[in-house]
């Protein structure tokens, strides 16, 4: 390598596009020592934008159906366990939060696991852990400590492995349609949450929480393993480093890292507490399950819309809009939802915005920092979500208990609502800062 450093400015625009506008700051000047973006651009120019990629997208959607759908339906089984006096809402929400916290805690390790085992074997391992945790949880419904291990840790390991696979694999098959591909993948999770929440409530009423867990685990194995077998890479997912520390010298990466960390605090507050809130309104458990199902269906639609939006107006613009809508729904609509009508409006808007976060984040990372480093960069960013995943919903639970508990008036829920909405608003502000830092033209696709 020559001793002098050669610098190359890389545009994120597609090949062949004539762009005479002033240079943007969305891509840094890169040296020969760091040519990841050059490699990414070359690789992206050869992706099929279809072909077997659609089979991979379908398989990834099946995985998200189970690991996202189960996570977002935790509020249903949480309400059933509370009615059995197993523990308090804050403690049981901690169990559900621990499952998702594993996504962050194990993100960097899982990026290395994919490198060593490949996407297919990692997905198979993830499905096995997820199903095992669900089956074992069926034997722990009268032991809160056991649920922390089975539903929290073991299911969490499976969830984290599946999450990393579906986050990094689609980028190998799609470039121009990457946003749509990621939207379809994560829409599977919204659809899963819709179906699982409705079925789960019915099964709980018939056979109880224990057998509900076991049935869920067996169904996950029966459909998840064949789907995982369909997943394969176009080329091995490789990374020379475990953590790419140089990214922390990039202002955009630092702000996006913080924005993601803040945004995860409110994400699971609505689906975890909607069943309890509906009970406080005097609605039945079936109505609560219906609201969670509606939330998840809206999330599925929102993920698809945000997938299209990422390709049409840009992933950063789409991420900003989804976070802003999430904040507005929790600060303006939810606090005045003292009847079914406004609550349904909140469920639709917040569900759609909530799903947008997950659908657009992998596209943002792959677009801004390069598809060749997406596994490492995504792993680093997701690691920052640990605090929000672990403590976001429990903090809401503690606020609820401090102001009277779930059996008190609707006003007892307001501090939790304002806390969640404020965190979403702060996250949208940080994403907006990145957006303006890259290009101050509001209508620019970015």
pTM reported for the whole predicted model: 0.77
What band does 446 get if pLDDT is binned at 50, 70 and 90?
confident
pLDDT of 21 > 60? The answer is no
Q: Among candidates 202, 201, 208, which has minimal Cα distance to 86? A: 208
Q: Among candidates 244, 275, 235, which has minimal Cα distance to 369? A: 244
pLDDT of 11 > 50? The answer is no
Q: Are 330 and 421 in contact (CB under 8 A)?
A: yes
3-state secondary structure of 295: helix
What band does 438 get if pLDDT is binned at 50, 70 and 90?
confident
Q: Which is higher by pLDDT, 259 or 10? A: 259
Mean pLDDT of the residues in the chain: 85
3-state secondary structure of 106: coil
What band does 371 get if pLDDT is binned at 50, 70 and 90?
low
Q: Among candidates 273, 299, 90, 33, which has minimal Cα distance to 192? A: 299
pLDDT of 396 > 90? The answer is yes
In degrees, rounded to 5, the angle at the alpha carbon of residue 200 between the alpha carbons of residues 199 and 206 is 90
Residues, the chain = 446
Which strand (E) or helix (H) includes residue 390? Answer: helix 386-402
pLDDT of 387 > 80? The answer is yes
Task: Flag the least confident range among 44-53, 97-106, 292-301, 342-351.
Answer: 44-53
Q: Are 65 and 189 in contact (CB under 8 A)?
A: yes
Task: Flag the least confident range among 81-85, 152-156, 207-211, 238-242.
Answer: 238-242
The DSSP annotation for 188-237 comes to HHHHHHHHHHHHHHHHHHHHHHHHHHHHHHHHHHHHHHHHHHH---SS--
Residue 376 DSSP one-character state: H
Encode pLDDT of 179-220 as tens digits. 888 889 988 988 998 999 889 989 999 999 999 999 999 999
What band does 16 get if pLDDT is binned at 50, 70 and 90?
very low
* Mean pLDDT confidence for 156-181: 88
SS3 of 137-186: the string is HCCCCCCHHHHHHHHHHHHHHHHHHHHHHHHHCHHHCCCCCHHHHHHHHH
Tokens of residue 72, six digits:
């977002």
A 10 A CB-CB count for 34 gives 13
3-state secondary structure of 370: coil
Encode pLDDT of 28-78 as tens digits. 444 433 555 565 555 666 677 778 989 999 999 999 999 999 998 898 999
What band does 150 get if pLDDT is binned at 50, 70 and 90?
very high
SS3 of 7-37: the string is CECCCCCCCCCCCCCCCCCCCCCECCCCCHH
A 10 A CB-CB count for 248 gives 12
Indicate if the alpha-carbon torsion angle 53, 55, 61, 63 is positive or negative.
negative
The DSSP annotation for 42-59 comes to HHHTT--SSTTHHHHHHH
Half-sphere exposure of 369 (CA within 13 A, CB side): 28
Q: What pLDDT is stored for residue 135 in this prediction? A: 97
What band does 241 get if pLDDT is binned at 50, 70 and 90?
low
Q: Are 381 and 361 in contact (CB under 8 A)?
A: yes
* Mean pLDDT confidence for 317-325: 95
Q: What pLDDT is stored for residue 145 in this prediction? A: 94
What band does 19 get if pLDDT is binned at 50, 70 and 90?
very low
pLDDT of 319 > 60? The answer is yes
Q: What pLDDT is stored for residue 45 in this prediction? A: 62
d(CA 1, CA 22): 32
Tokens of residue 81, six digits:
């366990």
N- to C-terminal Cα separation, the chain: 34
Q: Are 146 and 139 in contact (CB under 8 A)?
A: yes
Encode pLDDT of 65-95 as tens digits. 999 999 988 989 998 999 888 988 888 988 9
Q: What pLDDT is stored for residue 15 in this prediction? A: 35
Q: What pLDDT is stored for residue 90 in this prediction? A: 82
């Amino acid at each position: 390598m020559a001793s002098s450093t050669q610098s190359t400015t890389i545009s994120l625009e597609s090949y062949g596009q004539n762009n005479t506008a002033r240079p943007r700051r969305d891509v840094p000047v890169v040296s020969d020592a760091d040519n990841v973006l050059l490699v990414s651009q070359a690789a992206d120019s050869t992706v099929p934008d279809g072909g077997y990629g659609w089979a991979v997208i379908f398989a990834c959607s099946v995985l998200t159906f189970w690991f996202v759908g189960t996570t977002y339906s935790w509020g249903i089984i949480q309400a059933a366990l509370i009615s059995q006096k197993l523990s308090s809402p804050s403690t049981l929400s901690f169990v559900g939060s621990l499952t998702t916290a594993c996504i962050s805690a194990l993100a960097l390790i899982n990026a290395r696991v994919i490198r060593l085992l490949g996407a297919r074997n990692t997905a198979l391992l993830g499905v096995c852990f997820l199903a095992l945790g669900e089956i074992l949880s069926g034997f722990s419904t009268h032991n809160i400590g056991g649920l922390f291990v089975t539903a929290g840790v073991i299911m969490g390991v499976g969830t984290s492995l599946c999450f990393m696979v579906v986050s990094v694999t689609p980028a190998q098959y799609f470039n121009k349609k990457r946003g749509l591909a990621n939207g379809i993948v994560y829409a599977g999770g919204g659809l899963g949450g819709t179906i699982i929440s409705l079925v789960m409530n019915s099964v709980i009423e018939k056979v109880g929480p224990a057998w509900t867990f076991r049935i869920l685990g067996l169904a996950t194995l029966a459909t998840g393993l064949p789907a995982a077998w369909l997943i394969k890479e176009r080329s091995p997912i490789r990374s020379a480093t475990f953590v790419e520390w140089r990214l922390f010298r990039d202002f955009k990466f630092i702000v996006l890292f913080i924005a993601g960390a803040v945004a995860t605090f409110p994400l699971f507050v609505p689906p975890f507490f909607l069943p309890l809130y509906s009970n406080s309104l005097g609605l039945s458990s079936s109505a609560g399950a219906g609201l969670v199902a509606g939330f998840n269906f809206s999330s599925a639609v929102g993920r698809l819309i945000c997938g299209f939006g990422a390709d049409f107006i840009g992933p950063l613009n789409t991420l900003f809009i989804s976070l802003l809508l999430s904040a507005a729904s929790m600060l303006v609509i939810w606090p005045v939802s003292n009847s079914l009508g406004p609550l349904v409006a909140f469920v639709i808007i917040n569900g759609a915005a909530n799903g947008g976060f997950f659908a657009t984040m992998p596209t943002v990372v792959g677009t801004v920092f390069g598809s060749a480093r997406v596994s490492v960069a995504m792993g680093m960013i997701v690691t920052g979500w640990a605090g929000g995943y672990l403590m976001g919903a429990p903090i809401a639970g503690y606020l609820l208990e401090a102001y009277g508990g779930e059996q008190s008036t609707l006003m007892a829920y307001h501090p939790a609502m304002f806390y969640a909405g404020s965190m979403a608003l702060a996250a949208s502000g940080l994403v907006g800062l990145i957006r303006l830092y890259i290009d101050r033209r509001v209508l620019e696709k970015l």
